[in-house]
């Protein structure tokens, strides 16, 4: 009979006969290994959208983009103005706007930001945003209503996608869209 030998047999005689780690330490090590695998998978899971939430993407738009929704909006534009109304003052989440040359309080919680290369964001509240500009890039997620109007810019109006649909040119007249599926009576709460 032939025995297979490992080149490590000479080292194996020094290996202890009992386990080095105690049972409690083995459980901690196993839990840590499971978390190291599970957390990146959970973080990458596409659960960022709540059921019924819709999406809006405007790419290099020209004209007027109005969003009245509960959710979040992030955007920028080359030149123009932005009127923001935070309808959910209790959330404690104020709009964040960078790059405005002029800021004007319009009363009733409305603020107008004007200038070039303005960036803005509102996350996690009920808001009303009206952008009248050129070079509009917007991403919005949530539930509500959207109005798009590129009248006067029919040659290069920019493009948009609503609720994951295909990209289309911005409409040449005021057009209403629904962002997501708003349950009855839920939008204003």
Other beta carbons within 10 angstroms of residue 83's beta carbon come to 17
Distance CA 118, CA 134 (A): 11
pLDDT number for residue 83: 95
Kindly state the helix (H) or strand (E) to which residue 148 belongs, with its residue range: strand 110-149
Phi/psi zone of residue 89: left (φ > 0), alpha (ψ -120 to 50 degrees), beta?
A: alpha
Burial class (CB in 10 A: 0-12, 13-18, 19+), 112: middle
Tell the residue number behind the tokens 């997620």, with chain if given: 141
Assign 44 a pLDDT band (cuts: 50, 70, 90): very low
Handedness of CA 90, 50, 84, 179 (dihedral sign): negative
Distance CA 113, CA 130 (A): 10
pLDDT number for residue 20: 65
pLDDT number for residue 179: 93
Q: What is the mean pLDDT of the chain?
A: 80
More confident residue, 154 or 7: 154
Q: Are 127 and 87 spatial neighbours (Cβ–Cβ below 8 Å)?
A: yes
More confident residue, 22 or 132: 132
Distance CA 29, CA 146 (A): 51
Average pLDDT over residues 76-83: 95
pLDDT number for residue 116: 96
Tell the residue number behind the tokens 């790419």, with chain if given: 59
Distance CA 157, CA 59 (A): 9
Average pLDDT over residues 168-182: 89
* Beta-carbon contacts of residue 98 (< 8 Å; ≥ 6 apart): 118, 119, 120
Tell the residue number behind the tokens 């109304």, with chain if given: 85
Length of the chain: 189
More confident residue, 66 or 45: 66
CA 75 to chain centre: 11
Assign 141 a pLDDT band (cuts: 50, 70, 90): very high
pLDDT number for residue 45: 42
């Amino acid at each position: 009979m032939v025995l297979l030998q490992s080149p490590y047999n000479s080292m194996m005689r020094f290996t202890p006969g009992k386990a080095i780690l105690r049972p409690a330490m083995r459980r901690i090590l196993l839990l840590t290994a499971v978390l190291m695998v599970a957390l990146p998978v959970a973080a990458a899971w596409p659960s960022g959208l709540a059921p019924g939430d819709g999406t809006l993407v405007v790419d290099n738009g020209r004209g007027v983009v109005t969003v009245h929704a509960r959710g979040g909006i992030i955007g920028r534009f080359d030149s123009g103005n932005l009127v923001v109304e935070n309808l959910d003052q209790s959330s404690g989440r104020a709009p964040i706007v960078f790059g405005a040359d002029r800021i004007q309080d319009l009363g009733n919680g409305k603020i107008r930001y004007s200038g070039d290369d303005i960036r803005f964001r509102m996350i996690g509240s009920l808001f009303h945003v009206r952008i009248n500009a050129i070079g509009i890039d917007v991403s919005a997620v949530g539930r509500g209503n959207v109005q798009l109007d590129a009248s006067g810019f029919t040659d290069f109006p920019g493009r948009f996608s609503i609720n994951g649909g295909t990209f289309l040119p911005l409409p040449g007249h005021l057009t209403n869209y629904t962002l997501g599926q708003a349950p009855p009576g839920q939008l204003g709460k």
